Amino acid sequence: MLARIGWELVELETQIKQQTLEDEAGQRLLTIPGIGPITASSLLAMAGDARAFKCGRDFAASLGLVPRQHSTGGRATLLGISKRGNKQLRSLLVQGARAVMRYAERRTDALGRWLQALLRRRHSNVVACALANKMARIVWAILAKGGEYRAQPAIA
């Protein structure tokens, strides 16, 4: 029984990967570090028309990846992520971010430098959420404006 379920799961994952590779937007999402076929297909299913969001921050906020804010007397305090929106999609992005973080020291592009600097100053969980937020904004830009992810070279 469990073996049959395991094989069905493998078959479904293979179909998802195949459909993502056949989709033009899915192919573009796969160029983003930390986004694989399962995450890409989930993003495509959730995002629909990314142009419905005004900017990348709005898209990231819909996933619960932006900081909560508490304001009083003209003073704004940023708290942890809001955790609103699709929990599964948020966790897929955070796990993808963790995968990118594991190899941050090997990356020589601007994203790698940013990650290395942030990892020196912040806890790894905070960095994972920050990178997931950045990935969500990149996803929005790719889906709303077109194009592919291009790693920016690090400025010396």
Whose CA is closest to 146, among 50, 82, 45, 16? 50
Report the pLDDT value the prediction gives residue 130, as an integer from 0 to 100: 93
Domain ranges of the chain: 31-145
pLDDT the model gives residue 78: 57
Cα angle 77-79-84, degrees, rounded to a multiple of 5: 130
What pLDDT does 48 receive? 74
Please write the tens of the pLDDT for every residue from 60-105: 888 888 766 656 777 765 556 656 777 899 999 999 999 999 988 8
Helix (H) or strand (E) holding 41: helix 37-47
State which residues of the chain have pLDDT below 70: 67-71, 76-83, 154, 156
Q: Is the separation of the CB atoms in 148 and 142 below 8 Å? A: yes
